């Protein structure tokens, strides 16, 4: 793993952590929320600069199932992130307040709705890169290849995390949030900080697991049909 690749991985990890932290609005308060969110958007710009090659190949490979799957997820994420940035600027009370844009209840509701969609889609996006991330980690730790026992143990762990993630979808009440019914619920963060982080991390992991294994299944489908090489 090159130092630049490690640096990019650290920036991406930081971006995911900031995304998670932005959901603790009632915990940190408005000003911190806006600064955390803005910092995440800055990291997002660097992520896009480092991965600018994707824009050159996005129109290619739309016949191959794996490529369709990953490009659709990444395009959805791009659209949602743009929506999150726009609504953030509109409803800002601190960082972009100087722009004096008129906020509204519906803009704030859309902001929260898009935020939860971003959480789910960004996690799917992370899952797309999981094999590559694991390869890099193995290389850094100088582990040749997982043994059969390690593979079984990791799959078992992924299964347990996925179950906890499904349960967390109900505990966090994600359904009503996506229907904009209770987008601005006020949770007791003092009482449940650790649980808040664990639940959101489990939801991120669940979506990442779904996309990682879907991509693997689509790979099997491709191999069965003997199709040529893939593009991400």
Interface ranges with ligand HEM (CB under 6 A): 19, 22-23, 25-26, 30, 33-34, 37-38, 40, 84, 88, 91-93, 95-96, 108, 111-112, 115, 118, 184
Nearer to ligand HEM, 69 or 96 (CB): 96
- As measured in angstroms, the least distance from the Cβ of 87 to ligand HEM is 8
| CA dist., res. 95 & res. 42, Å (int) | 13
Nearer to ligand HEM, 118 or 120 (CB): 118
- As measured in angstroms, the least distance from the Cβ of 45 to ligand HEM is 13
| CA dist., res. 207 & res. 205, Å (int) | 6
- As measured in angstroms, the least distance from the Cβ of 118 to ligand HEM is 6
Nearer to ligand HEM, 91 or 206 (CB): 91
CA-closest candidate to residue 230, choices 28, 57, 112: 57
- As measured in angstroms, the least distance from the Cβ of 61 to ligand HEM is 30
- As measured in angstroms, the least distance from the Cβ of 189 to ligand HEM is 10
- As measured in angstroms, the least distance from the Cβ of 76 to ligand HEM is 15
Nearer to ligand HEM, 40 or 207 (CB): 40
Nearer to ligand HEM, 96 or 213 (CB): 96
| CA dist., res. 31 & res. 7, Å (int) | 28
Nearer to ligand HEM, 66 or 200 (CB): 200
Nearer to ligand HEM, 50 or 96 (CB): 96
- As measured in angstroms, the least distance from the Cβ of 24 to ligand HEM is 9
- Going 199 to 18 to 107 to 119, the CA torsion angle's sign is negative
**Residue with the shortest CB distance to ligand HEM:** 37
Question: Structure tokens of 97?
Answer: 């307040």
């Amino acid at each position: 793993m090159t130092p630049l690749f490690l640096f990019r991985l650290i920036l991406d990890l930081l971006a995911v952590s900031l995304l998670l932290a932005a959901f603790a609005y009632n915990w940190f308060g408005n000003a911190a929320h806006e600064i955390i969110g803005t910092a995440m958007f800055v990291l997002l710009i660097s992520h896009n600069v480092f991965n600018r090659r994707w824009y050159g190949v996005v129109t290619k490979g739309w016949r191959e199932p794996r490529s369709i799957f990953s490009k659709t997820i990444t395009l959805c994420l791009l659209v949602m992130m743009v929506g999150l940035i726009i609504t953030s600027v509109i409803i800002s009370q601190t960082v972009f307040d100087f722009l004096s844009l008129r906020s509204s209840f519906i803009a704030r509701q859309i902001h929260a709705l898009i935020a939860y969609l971003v959480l789910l889609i960004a996690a799917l996006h992370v899952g797309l890169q999981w094999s590559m991330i694991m390869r890099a980690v193995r290389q850094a730790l100088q582990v040749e290849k997982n043994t059969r026992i390690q593979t079984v143990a990791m799959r078992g762990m992924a299964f347990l995390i996925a179950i906890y993630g499904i349960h967390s979808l109900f505990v966090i009440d994600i359904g009503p949030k996506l229907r904009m019914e209770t987008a601005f619920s006020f949770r007791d963060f003092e009482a449940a900080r650790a649980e808040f982080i664990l639940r959101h991390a489990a939801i991120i992991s669940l979506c990442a697991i779904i996309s990682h294994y879907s991509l693997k299944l689509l790979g099997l489908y491709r191999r069965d049909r003997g199709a040529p090489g893939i593009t991400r």
